[in-house]
Chains A and B, each alone.
Chain A
């Protein structure tokens, strides 16, 4: 039987600094992709609810395609296809990190576009009309009436997306982005202790994602259930 505590006691001095350092890579990757996904999601949600049919159709197609693909497929396309399209152009050969950010942001933008759209659509148009007829300016209506309500609807699913994103960064190890899983694989093969290393990686992922999921639950409890 494998004695994990003994293995950890023996190796933690070598493993822990390395793995924690790789956690920073994971967090950086998740944070940068999250910010870009937020912007993409907002833009596509606005397009999706626009009155221009072309914008609506384009963003609907984007959402369906990006949400229907495995993260791995998107990452492979972003990472391997541009260099083949323009061979010799050094600029298009993305580093693992940038390809990972672009791939995750493309997928996240589609997920968040749907979240934001449902947030916008959930608010009755009567709310805006009532606020305007009470003499509020459109900006004030947005700031005091619409956004506070929309936030409540949107924040828990955005938090859930962030948790999913944090876990999806593990897939980026397959395009050699510098993050936790990549380091774990190296360490597993150099130390010949795959079980101990991958279980440690799982614990570190849990340590990063669990506070987030507690925060989401707190928000859900405070804002009441959706729907």
Chain B
């Protein structure tokens, strides 16, 4: 136990500073993937809700297949598989696209449930008043749906943030990437991984508190 504090005092600041060097990439990947997923997920959701089978079926296949396979496999296909067909994504590109594709499938289902939860009469009323379907979606349906969707969307953001730990395997220089290098360098696996854990908790616990608060606010509103 004494040694624990000794090592912490000697190497702690160095370990912490190095790990925090990966924080930027972690945040860039999480934010990039979230933006990608928010946009792409909306496209998939509209395709899923479409009456045209040609649009609906690919969307269903996408949602089911992506949600049914591990994010790690998707990352491997993108980073190690795509070069087989002549594409060479950089680690950062592979990380953002890989996690974004994954998040989009979950967000598409959240959007769909949120839109479905708004009563059909709303859409009919808006159309009767002469709004275009797109205008009705934009001004009537989505503003109401967003209230029910916000907590699960934030949950996806938390999951994305945690999943960024996986992108160290495609050599994106984020927290866990530096952690692994630090362990080979200092041989202090305990200090390194516990500090990495602490950094993740500093981000995820406030975020999940925020989700819980949103959830309470939503219930109070109903």
- Which A positions have Cβ atoms within 8 angstroms of B? 1-2, 64-65, 67-74, 76-77, 80-81, 84-85, 163, 167-171, 173-174, 181, 184-185, 188, 193-196, 198-199, 201-202, 205-206, 209-210, 213
Indicate if the CB atoms of B204 and A69 lie closer than 8 Å: yes
Beyond known contacts A73-B196, A77-B190, A205-B70: 18 more, CB 8 A cutoff: A2-B85, A65-B201, A67-B204, A70-B176, A70-B200, A71-B162, A72-B168, A73-B176, A73-B193, A81-B189, A163-B68, A171-B70, A195-B80, A195-B82, A195-B84, A198-B73, A206-B65, A210-B64
> Closest CB-CB distance, B76 to chain A, in whole Å?
5
User: Contacting B76 at CB < 8 Å: which of A69, A193, A198?
Assistant: A198
State in angstroms the CA–CA spacing of A84 and B169 once bound together: 23
The distance in angstroms between the C-alpha atoms of A150 and B164, with both chains bound, is: 35
Say whether B82 contacts A84, CB under 8 Å: no
Inter-chain contact B72/A85, CB cutoff 8 Å: no
Q: Which residues of B contact A199 (CB under 8 A)?
A: 77, 81
B193 and A193 contact, CB distance less than 8 A: no
User: Is there an interface contact between B163 and A70, defined as CB atoms closer than 8 Å?
Assistant: yes
Given contacts A1-B85, A81-B189, A213-B67, contact A70 B165 (CB under 8 A): yes
Q: Size of chain B's interface in residues, with CB distance under 8 A?
A: 41
What is the bound-complex CA distance between A84 and B4, given in angstroms?
Answer: 11
Interface residue SS majority, chain B: helix
- Nearest A-chain residue to B81, judged by Cβ: A195
Chain A interface secondary structure, helix, strand, loop or mixed? helix
Residue of A nearest to B219 (CB): A227
Pick the contact of A68: B176, B187, B205 (CB < 8 A): B205
Select B70's contact among A1, A72, A85, A181, beta carbons within 8 Å: A181
B73 in complex: contacting residue of A68, A72, A202, CB < 8 Å: A202
A167: which of B70, B81, B179, B205 is its contact (CB, 8 Å)? B70
**Contact of B201 with A68 in the complex, beta carbons under 8 Å:** yes
Known: A68-B204, A70-B162, A73-B193. A194 touches B80 (CB 8 A): yes
For A70, A71, A171, A206, the residue with the greatest tally of chain B CB atoms inside 10 Å of its CB is A70
Q: CB-CB < 8 A to B196: which residues of A?
A: 73
Q: Which residue of A lies closest to B183 (CB)?
A: A80
- Residues of chain A contacted by B68 (CB below 8 angstroms): 163, 167, 205-206, 209-210, 213
> How many whole Å from A134's CB to the nearest CB in chain B?
32
Cβ contacts under 8 Å, A68 to chain B: 162, 200-201, 204-205, 208
* Top 8 A-B pairs, shortest CB-CB distance: A195-B81, A70-B165, A170-B70, A68-B204, A195-B84, A80-B189, A167-B70, A194-B80
**Across the interface, do B72 and A181 meet the contact criterion of CB distance under 8 Å?**
yes
* Contact in complex: A170, B72 (CB < 8 Å): yes
| Docked complex Cα distance between A74 and B176 (Å) | 12
**Contact of B166 (CB < 8 Å), options: A72, A184, A210:** A72
* Cross-interface CB contact of B169 among A174, A193, A201, A209, cutoff 8 Å: A174
Chain A contacts for B179, CB-based, 8 A:
76
B127 close to chain A: CB less than 8 A: no
Least distance between A45 CB and chain B CB atoms (Å): 17
User: Which residues from B are CB-within-8-Å of A206?
Assistant: 64-65, 68-69
CB contact between B188 and one of A70, A84, A169, A171 (< 8 Å): that residue: A84
Alpha-carbon separation in the docked complex, A207 to B84 (Å):
24
Q: Are B193 and A77 in contact (CB under 8 A)?
A: yes
Report Cα–Cα, A200/B187, bound state, in Å.
37
Residues of A within 8 A of B166 (CB): 70, 72, 171
CA distance A173 to B200 in the complex (A): 21
Can you pick out 8 interface pairs between chain A and chain B where the beta carbons lie within 8 Å of each other? A64-B208, A73-B176, A163-B68, A170-B70, A174-B169, A184-B76, A201-B76, A205-B69
In the complex, the chain A residue whose C-beta lies closest to that of B188 is A84
Given contacts A69-B204, A72-B176, A168-B70, contact A84 B84 (CB under 8 A): no
**Across the interface, which residues of B come within 8 angstroms of A185, CB to CB?**
76
Is B81 a contact of A201 with CB atoms below 8 Å? no
Q: Quick check: B190 and A85 within 8 Å, CB to CB?
A: yes
A205-B69, A206-B69, A209-B69 known; A194 vs B84 contact (CB < 8 Å): yes
B139-169 Cβ-contact flags toward A at 8 Å (1 or 0):
0000000000000000000000011111011
